[in-house]
Structure 1
Amino acid sequence: MFSRLRRGSAVAAAILAAGLTLTACSTTSDDEKSASGEKITVATNTGDVEVTTDPERVVVLDNTAAETVKAFGITPVAIPKQLFQTDQLKDWTENDDIKDVGTHNEPKFDVVEDVEPDLIIGGYRFSKYNDDLKKVADAAGASYIDIAADDKAEGGRVAAMIRQTEILGKIFNKQDEAEKIISDFQGKLDAAKGVASGQSVFLSVVSGGKIDNGAKRISPLTAPLNVKDVFGGAGGDLHQNSGLTPEAIAQANPDWVFVMDRDAAVKPENGEQAKPAQQVFAAQEAFKGTTFADKNQIVYLDPQFYLREGIQCYGDNYQAIADAMGKK
């Protein structure tokens, strides 16, 4: 896998020696300056990692961090273009100078090697390759970090996203910009909290033209809100049919439904044009007479939620929830 690494043994030895010297320090001092910035230590999902600030050649693999990096005015040298097919990252995916590293199912490690990165931002969908990507980073004299927001992190996903944004702000010396992102997000979250007062909800995903339980992906979004999942938070794999029927949903009769339209973000494998989630819901005879259908209490989340999932995306969806519930 790593046969194309170009660093010789002498360079590797130099990198190793430098790493041993630097890791002995946990604080930043004036004599730790490098060509592109200073050395800082950041907390990651795999332990503390030493990073050089203001990296010039950045590989971004984590979709939850991508919009923040872009907001800082950073242009990466490589990304997984298929996974970043969103309106917010269009400038990146259509830029031929930015290399494509494939997907988490078929990653192109040779591309990551070829771009000679200073920093690789991995994790989330790419977390299963943490060890492999760290080897690539070590050989290139780069840093590898996994700071993706984890649902099981202290304080939940929301707190983890805030920490992620703060860390990226420190790495790129964009603390003011990071604070603004967090402030905007917090305002939208507070707005959603202000209208969530114990309502029952069904957390739905529309995938393959079928309505199913999407709690596994959506429950981190609703965790800070005072709403009650009618199915108790149990949610199956988004890639499999759980067997949930429209009749069972109607019988549960939630006050509200929050819908993630996976088909809007990922094209069906059969190549056919997927029906929008609104059409799928409108076609359900079983929903007639339910509270959510009769009162039009359905919130369709950002159609690109499945591919975005970062702090900006969560903020947008909190605002959508606040706007919808605030009108009732």
Structure 2
Amino acid sequence: MQHTRTPALLAALVAGSMAMTGLVSAQEIVVTHAQGETTLPGKPEKVLVQDWAAFDNLTALGIEVAGVPGSNAPGYLADAVSADTATIGSLQEPDFEAIAASEADLYIVAARSRTAYETAKDLVPTIDMSIDNGAIIEGIKTNLTKYGQIFGVEDKANELIASLDAKVAEVSAAAEGKGNALAIVTNAGKLGVYGPDSRVSWIYNEIGMPSALESVADGDHGGDSVTFEFLLETNPDWVFVVDRDAGVGNEGAAAALLDNELFNQTTAAKEGHVVYVDPQAAYITMHGYQGVMLLLDQVLEGLNK
């Protein structure tokens, strides 16, 4: 028996089909990131990260991570890495074979691993969450917002952002009228200075402590190279120290290096205004919410002594 479809029935079928199409497309998540746009079919379940700041931010949001770098895990995040978490290469050398085999829903690169994007994007859905060092606090907040949208945890993301804003305001108030500052990095027996485009740029840009130097050429690893004579001549009111040796897993050497006759004559040293910040949070996960909150607390404690 042949069935005929009335115009009304056909219209209903078309409308139903369009509604289903709309439902499917509404589940898609378009993520704008540092190297373009990536469309995810829905909320990711299996997530890999090649960047410890990404791991920091996701765990702060309560998101489980299935794969992480096999090197330079910051101590303050150690408890968040479970025994069954896969390792997918180092910070700068991803294991693409393992990544391809993972069938992950999302793979996140940033900072040191950003060059992996071009290869990885053809293997699994990939986003680059790199942050501009000149605007670290703003970058962290932007990334938290994006993660909130991707994983459907907008309320938690907003809660963390509010906490970060409050902490920045608290430290800024403590820093007001306290004088100028230098963020210095020690690296294999050498001294360097970090400035307004460095891994700890928020000391100047967001906290508002004026730099003791008019111009700093921020280096990638060791900052702008300086001598003890130069530090004494500059004579900062406050010094914030990043021990890169300890940050990359070697024996810390900053305290011994700075126990120097010239450095001890600076105002910062004489006044006890030398603050050693967590080297892994400052050097490895400088774009992570938990790491920056830790650093802000250390700076606040130093300023309030």
Question: What TM-score range do you get, normalising by the shorter chain?
Answer: 0.7 to 0.9
| Of 24, 29, 39, the match for 2:28 | 39
Residue of structure 1 in register with 2:44 after alignment = 55
- What is the TM-score normalised by the length of structure 2? 0.83
| Of 64, 78, 86, the match for 2:67 | 78
Which runs of 5 or more structure 2 residues have no equivalent in the other structure? 1-20
CA RMSD of aligned residues (A): 2.3
Taking the aligned partners of 1:149 and 1:240, their CA distance within structure 2 comes to 19
Q: 1:105 to 1:296 in 2, by over 3 A?
A: same
Q: 1:257 to 1:109 in 2, by over 3 A?
A: same
Taking the aligned partners of 1:66 and 1:303, their CA distance within structure 2 comes to 17
Taking the aligned partners of 2:256 and 2:161, their CA distance within structure 1 comes to 35
Q: 1:52 to 1:185 in 2, by over 3 A?
A: farther
Matched, 1:322 2:304: no
Taking the aligned partners of 2:216 and 2:132, their CA distance within structure 1 comes to 18
Find runs of 4+ consecutive structure 1 residues off by over 4 angstroms.
240-243
Q: 1:241 to 1:164 in 2, by over 3 A?
A: closer
Matched, 1:144 2:126: yes
| Of 165, 183, 193, the match for 2:172 | 193
Q: Deviations over 1:29-87 (max 9, x none)?
A: 53436xxxx21222211223222443111111122221121133333222112033433
Taking the aligned partners of 1:145 and 1:72, their CA distance within structure 2 comes to 18
Q: Structure 1 counterpart of 2:34, which letter? A: N
Taking the aligned partners of 2:43 and 2:61, their CA distance within structure 1 comes to 11
Taking the aligned partners of 1:41 and 1:293, their CA distance within structure 2 comes to 51
Deviation of 1:243 (Å): 4.4
Taking the aligned partners of 1:115 and 1:99, their CA distance within structure 2 comes to 10
Residue of structure 2 in register with 1:19 after alignment = none
Residue of structure 2 in register with 1:278 after alignment = 255
Q: Structure 1 counterpart of 2:89, which letter? A: G
Deviation of 1:221 (Å): 4.4
Residue of structure 1 in register with 2:245 after alignment = 263
Q: Structure 2 counterpart of 1:76, which letter? A: V
Residue of structure 2 in register with 1:205 after alignment = 185
Q: 1:104 to 1:323 in 2, by over 3 A?
A: closer
Q: 1:243 to 1:189 in 2, by over 3 A?
A: closer
Deviation of 1:131 (Å): 0.8
Residue of structure 2 in register with 1:166 after alignment = 145
Residue of structure 2 in register with 1:87 after alignment = 76
Deviation of 1:225 (Å): 2.4
Deviation of 1:192 (Å): 1.4
Contact 1:169 / 1:177 at 8 angstroms: preserved in 2? Answer: yes
Deviation of 1:238 (Å): 4.8
SS in 1 for 2:121: helix
Residue of structure 1 in register with 2:6 after alignment = none
Contact 1:247 / 1:286 at 8 angstroms: preserved in 2? Answer: yes
Contact 1:67 / 1:89 at 8 angstroms: preserved in 2? Answer: no
Taking the aligned partners of 1:316 and 1:240, their CA distance within structure 2 comes to 22
Matched, 1:219 2:206: no
Contact 1:102 / 1:108 at 8 angstroms: preserved in 2? Answer: yes
Aligned length: 280
Q: Which moved more, 1:70-79 or 1:243-252?
A: 70-79
Residue of structure 1 in register with 2:158 after alignment = 179
Q: Which moved more, 1:287-296 or 1:219-228?
A: 219-228
Deviation of 1:166 (Å): 0.7
Which runs of 5 or more structure 1 residues have no equivalent in the other structure? 1-27, 138-142
Matched, 1:308 2:285: yes
| Of 87, 90, 93, the match for 1:100 | 87
SS in 2 for 1:254: coil
Pair member with larger Rg? 2
